Chains A and B, each alone.
Chain A
Amino acid sequence: MSNHEANRNPTPATASDAGYGRWHRRVLENRGGLFALLTTIGISIGGIVEILPMYTAEWGPETADWVSPYTPLEVAGRDIYIREGCYLCHSQMVRPMRSEILRYGEWTRAAEYMYDRPFLLGSRRLGPDLQRVGGKYPDAWHYEHMRDPRSVSPGSVMPPYPWLLERTIDPEDIRASVVALRRAGTPYTDEDVAGVPDALRTQGEGIVQRLAQAGIETTWDREIVALIAYLQRLGVDGRRHLEQQNAGGTP
């Protein structure tokens, strides 16, 4: 075959293939619809086999009653965490390895994620894992750290987020989130939904007071307060449960 002819015809009829490929051409490769159908079946099997069992008690990730849903303020903080893309530098998954447990604490159990919508495991660690950061630092540390990471962590490469100190959250907006989360399956009650503004203020004021003791003045509706509420919550349910278990108490 001259180059010229080959150029006209880059179909795969090579010498080694001569005479091959008759039946599947006829049965399959000449029929667009059937080919598409078989491709669809081919790409569906793996997903079905892996995803559907997640909804069974036996094969799916375990759940537990020692985990509670996020409070409205924590939901707001989580939305800020998502908005700022913190998950692109911070994972939330301590692996069951000695070095990870030494560095970050107890490895993460499946149930600890049961109310995470969306999941925020992360796939990159430009910064340390945050799954057990709750309770590790006082609220004021986070406040300063978000304002200027280098003020409390010399040499840090984390960007500063000073605007979180100024911007405020909107209770109605957060109520919409709580409603949507409930519709998606998180067990919030009617009272929870009705009480969103009060819950935000009560939890926020607690943080504001702790910050005031460190000489920081702010109000309960600042974004930074919501973010601190979320960060201080991370990994706490699991740690408390595991400590009780290790102490021999009822899980």
Chain B
Amino acid sequence: MESTSVPSPQPASAAAGASIDYDDDIVKKFLLASVLWGGVGMLVGVIVALQIVWWPANLGLPWTTFGRLRPLHTNAVIFAFAGNVCFTGIYYSMQRLLRTRMYSDRLSALHFWGWQLIIVLAAITLPLGLTQSKEYAELIWPIDVLIAVVWVIFAINFFGTIAIRRVKHLYVAIWFYMSFVITIAVLHIVNSLAVPATFLRSYPIYAGLTDALVQWWYGHNAVGFFLTTPFLGLMYYFLPKAAERPVYSYRLSIIHFWALVFIYIWTGPHHLLYSALPDWAQTLGMVFSVMLLAPSWGGMLNGLLTLRGAWDRLRTDAVLKFMVVAVTFYGMSTFEGPMMSIRAVNGLAHYTNWVIGHVHSGALGWVGMISFGMIYWLVPRLWGRPLADPDGPTRHFWLGTIGIVLYIVSMWAAGLMEGVQWRSVNEAGQLAHPIFLDIVHRLAPFYWLRLIGGTMYLVGAVMMALNIWRTIRGPAPDAAGPEPVPAPAQ
């Protein structure tokens, strides 16, 4: 309905666009879910950050201790926030790129409610201590089965939509979405294979270092195919739309897509450097991680150069601000990652806050910022009215950006410091800092700084939620106007 007032992304006449009844209801649902879970997940992040520097925040209750809330944070921000954001963007852009409604409304609804059910179950089981302990794959086996079922429902809907498309060519965003759908299914199923002991507990079929390798094959590619490829797909759709420019280079997108999906899978062992994992596997992981720099930067350049000739709009358009900063952080974290995969560098960085800094330059900088940009672009179009507070996005942008900088700079400093102090040995051949807790105490100022940065980021996200709430609850759009909605900010 409202959607027909938005320009179709394909070279089609307005009349042809008008004849398709896109399902925007499901897009709205996913969007609101991402805003809600984003707030929850980041709030838990802030709580966890406080617990690290002030232990009484563990509250002395089993279900609120750090060891139980931290997995809640990672699951909430990755699968609830980032996941719902991906589905929002995919359901919106896919229908338009393929010029068809989704294959099945019923599957769309099952996907939506199934996914939210998984999130609620996660929010209940993790604080209860029901976990398999594998990072980003903590959920107990019955929930794992449910995830597989919901994912298959999504996949049928996804490929069904491709099958009934009215456009022959698959635009590059669709390739990235496809790699997301396929790879997450493979990773999830293989990594979750386990023997149940009870309804709530199971043990993996892999043991020891093999289990570790399978887990980090999964873990790194959760980063690669949950936090990277679908978001690159979103970048390929929403950045050109927001910039009103075609993508810089088609050739580059082909090369970097195939290189990225092929190389990513090999890099898992960079999480196990200096472990007793056989050397050949560690070396493979390191070499492929360094190679991954090239396709990653291919994607970044394609995104940034899409703005050529439109840089002046950055000053006024908050959506573009979010997206450009996101792509820049993507470039930064994919430069940092390959460096950290070099054995000698990893020897210093591993186990330290440096890794946490790296994680959040990708998570807050890339995933978070591109999500906010997309959401601010979508809300006026989906609900057919301007944002209640048109300056909100700009304020959110600055709050978020300063928050990220505080977060990652403090974590880099903390990580370098602890890394150096753990390893330094004096002339007598003894540890220069033999007392572990002394080093921990020196990190406190950095942790407080991170807490401030994280809180700013959270406040920005809450402001966005309130702005969207007021927009939706605000007066209905002027019935007379099928005109395109104004850009969100200024």
Contact with A along B405-423 (1 / 0, CB 8 A): 0000000000000000011
B437 near A54 with CB under 8 A, answer no
Contact with A along B256-288 (1 / 0, CB 8 A): 001001111110110110111110110011001
A11 CB to nearest B CB, Å? 6
Partner pick for A93 among B8, B131, B275, B278, CB 8 A cutoff:
B275
Interface size on B, residues (CB 8 A): 115
CB-based nearest A residue for B352: A125
A181 near B55 with CB under 8 A, answer no
Please, which residues of chain A bring their CB within 8 A of the CB of B208?
Answer: 61, 110, 113-117, 119
Interface hit among B25-33, B179-187, B473-481? B179-187
- Contacting residues of chain A (3-23) with chain B, CB-CB under 8 angstroms: 3-4, 6-14, 16-17, 20-21
Q: Which of B203, B266, B271 has the most chain A CB within a 10 Å cutoff? A: B203
> Does B424 reach chain A (CB closer than 8 Å)?
yes
Please, which residues of chain A bring their CB within 8 A of the CB of B241?
Answer: 7, 10
Interface hit among A30-38, A202-210, A229-237? A30-38
Partner pick for B201 among A35, A177, A186, CB 8 A cutoff:
A177
Partner pick for B71 among A11, A40, A60, A85, CB 8 A cutoff:
A85
CB-based nearest A residue for B132: A118
A170 CB to nearest B CB, Å? 10
Partner pick for A185 among B205, B262, B423, CB 8 A cutoff:
B205
State which size class the interface on A falls in.
35 or more
B440 near A110 with CB under 8 A, answer no
Contact with B along A54-80 (1 / 0, CB 8 A): 110001110000000000000000010
How many residue pairs link A and B with beta carbons under 8 A? The number is 309
Please, which residues of chain B bring their CB within 8 A of the CB of A119?
Answer: 207-209, 211-212, 215
> Does B204 reach chain A (CB closer than 8 Å)?
yes
Contact with B along A136-168 (1 / 0, CB 8 A): 000000000000000001011111111100000
Contact with B along A33-47 (1 / 0, CB 8 A): 001100110111111
Question: If A12-B247, A17-B251, A180-B196 touch, does A51 touch B213 (CB 8 Å cutoff)?
Answer: yes
Question: If A32-B162, A60-B210, A176-B197 touch, does A155 touch B269 (CB 8 Å cutoff)?
Answer: no
Q: How far is the CA of A79 from the CA of B206 in the complex (A)?
A: 17
Q: How far is the CA of A251 from the CA of B250 in the complex (A)?
A: 61
A35 near B175 with CB under 8 A, answer yes
Q: How far is the CA of A245 from the CA of B317 in the complex (A)?
A: 69
B133 near A120 with CB under 8 A, answer yes
Contact with A along B217-254 (1 / 0, CB 8 A): 10000000100000000000100110011111111011
Question: If A118-B133, A123-B355 touch, does A176 touch B198 (CB 8 Å cutoff)?
Answer: yes
B203 CB to nearest A CB, Å? 4
CB-based nearest A residue for B70: A88
> Does B142 reach chain A (CB closer than 8 Å)?
no
A12 near B249 with CB under 8 A, answer yes
> Does A102 reach chain B (CB closer than 8 Å)?
yes
Contact with B along A90-112 (1 / 0, CB 8 A): 01010111111011000011101
> Does A89 reach chain B (CB closer than 8 Å)?
yes
A21 near B250 with CB under 8 A, answer yes
Question: If A8-B7, A10-B240 touch, does A118 touch B170 (CB 8 Å cutoff)?
Answer: no
> Does B490 reach chain A (CB closer than 8 Å)?
no
Q: How far is the CA of A193 from the CA of B261 in the complex (A)?
A: 45
Partner pick for B281 among A1, A44, A50, CB 8 A cutoff:
A50
CB-based nearest B residue for A83: B129
| Given A9-B10, A100-B423, A120-B133, 7 additional A-B pairs, CB 8 A | A11-B246, A20-B251, A35-B175, A113-B208, A162-B60, A163-B62, A177-B203
Q: Which 6 A-B pairs have the closest CB atoms?
A: A85-B67, A10-B240, A113-B208, A46-B265, A12-B250, A180-B197
Ordered by A's residue number, 29 sampled pairs between the chains whose C-beta atoms are within 8 Å are A7-B241, A8-B10, A11-B247, A12-B248, A13-B246, A14-B248, A14-B250, A17-B249, A20-B250, A21-B251, A25-B169, A32-B159, A42-B261, A59-B280, A61-B276, A82-B132, A83-B129, A85-B70, A85-B129, A100-B423, A110-B276, A110-B277, A113-B212, A119-B207, A121-B272, A124-B356, A176-B201, A180-B195, A181-B197
Residues of B within 8 A of A (CB): 7-12, 51-53, 55, 58, 60, 62, 65-68, 70-71, 129-135, 159, 162-163, 165, 168-172, 175, 178-179, 182-183, 186, 190, 194-198, 201-215, 217, 225, 237, 240-241, 244-251, 253-254, 258, 261-266, 268-269, 271-272, 274-278, 280-281, 284-285, 288, 347, 350-352, 355-356, 422-425, 430-431, 434, 436-437, 440-441
